Amino acid sequence: MELLFYAYRDFTAEPDAILAKHKLGRAHHRVIYFVGRYPLISVSELLAILRITKQSLSRVLGELVREGFITQQPGQRDRRQRLLELTAKGAELEHKLSESQRQRVARAYRAAGAAAVEGYRKVLSGMVDDDRRAKLPRNRGPRA
Amino acid sequence: MELLFYAYRDFTAEPDAILAKHKLGRAHHRVIYFVGRYPLISVSELLAILRITKQSLSRVLGELVREGFITQQPGQRDRRQRLLELTAKGAELEHKLSESQRQRVARAYRAAGAAAVEGYRKVLSGMVDDDRRAKLPRNRGPRA
DNA sequence: CCATATATGTCAACATGGCTGACATAAAAT
DNA sequence: ATTTTATGTCAGCCATGTTGACATATATGG
């Protein structure tokens, strides 16, 4: 439990510093991250992932759209949807933000070894609620 | 990264619900947790762990002291210090809060196996900043 | 002993990012 | 044609972070 707190705390610290330069917060990071991870994601799916209210999301998402980090487009099958995608500018920021985290993860992975990483993933998955765990993308192998 | 977000999100969800009944928030939980973990911890050490300002801590800590969850006592060697300890009431709340988390961790541990847990700890430790990692307590073995 | 540094507390103002509740619109589904 | 769904928006509230300034008691070093 303690470990998880420290890891999360330190994991978010560097991106927070970068975000501050753009006058953005951690909430923006989460949106940028998941839109980058799941291009053309719908607003409701994003809400389900973040587990916040649409009013909370709206503020943050609105800013990102206005500042040109994210674009919205109507869904093809369902035109009520406003599917979200990163712009080039958004992708660039996403990359910068992820960079420090990737390095941190990579360092931890190298120090711990492949077997440890396997276990790490297993345990973390086990802590996620069942409904979300079912939707987890399969491990795509070492990315560091 | 995604996994870590979900795990942390779901890890904090249940305690949050319990805390709400006591009109407390996640910030209170963190204080209660670390005071329980390190009895007679000093305010400055707690600040170093949480990485928040003393003004932020003061509000939360003050409430916990006023509500009788935590007591303060002057340090013996250094009487400027106000060493923190859980009261019986505080310990009881701490236990309740940790209960759901312990179960979640235990479930994940069982599902993943001992070897996976070992790896999990290794990787998480590797993500923690060096200065704090040096102070991590040694793994005390299965507690679930 | 005195000067300075440290541990802690406190007041005030402000920002971020959650929340609830109410209401609106367009498109899909029945 | 009606109802449901996906989304947006306004308004106000709360929790928890921030900075800056200042106060007090005790420890520490010349």
Domain at A58, CATH number: 1.10.10.10
Closest approach of A106 to chain B, Cα-based (Å): 9
Asked whether the predicted pLDDT for residue A110 surpasses 60, the reply is yes
Asked if pLDDT for residue A108 goes beyond 80, the answer is yes
Say yes or no: A51 contacts chain B, CB-CB below 8 A: yes
pLDDT band at B142 (very low <50, low <70, confident <90, very high): low
pLDDT at A143 over 60: no
Mean pLDDT of the B69-81 span: 97
Q: How far apart are CA A36 and CA A26, in angstroms?
A: 15
Distance A30 CA to D12 C1' (A): 25
Tokens for A19?
A: 């975000």
Strand partners, A71: A85
Residue A144, pLDDT score: 44
Please give the structure tokens belonging to residue A13. Answer: 């610290």
Quote the crossing angle between the two packed helices B88-112 and B2-21, to the nearest 10°.
150
The domain of B44 spans 2-99
Residue A86 belongs to a domain? yes
Contact A2 B37 (CB under 8 A): yes
State residue B140's pLDDT score. Answer: 61
Query: Is residue B58 domain-resident?
Result: yes
Task: Name the band, by pLDDT with cuts 50, 70 and 90, for residue A136.
Answer: confident
Distance separating alpha carbons of residues B44 and B82, to the nearest angstrom: 9
Chain A contacts in chain B segment 58-77 (CB below 8 A): none
What's chain B's length in residues?
A: 144
**Residue of chain A nearest B114, judged by CA positions:** A119
In the prediction, which pLDDT does B144 show? 44
Query: What is the percent of chain B with per-residue pLDDT over 70, rounded to a whole number?
Result: 96
> What is chain B's percent helix, strand, coil content, to nearest 5?
65, 10, 25
- How many structural domains compose chain B? 1
A143 in any annotated domain: no
Please tell me the distance from the alpha carbon of residue B52 to that of residue B35, in angstroms, as a whole number.
15
The residue in chain B having the minimum alpha-carbon distance to the alpha carbon of residue A5 is: B8
What percentage of chain A reaches a pLDDT higher than 90?
90
Q: Is-contact A38 A2, C-beta < 8 A?
A: no
Percent of chain B with pLDDT over 90: 89
**In this model, does residue A140 exceed pLDDT 80?**
no
A138 occurs within a structural domain: no
For B15-30, the pLDDT digits (tens) are 999 999 999 999 999 9
Query: Does the beta-carbon distance from B1 to A119 stay under 8 Å?
Result: no
Tens digit of each residue's pLDDT (9 = 90 or more) over A30-84? 999 999 999 999 999 999 999 999 999 999 999 999 999 999 999 999 999 999 9
Q: Is residue B125 part of a domain?
A: no
Q: Cα separation of B18 and A65, whole Å?
A: 36
The mean-pLDDT minimum among A86-90, A105-109, B34-38 falls in A105-109
Residue at B117 is within a domain: no
Q: Does A27 fall in a domain?
A: yes
In a domain, B141, yes or no: no
Check residue A141 and give its pLDDT.
Answer: 55
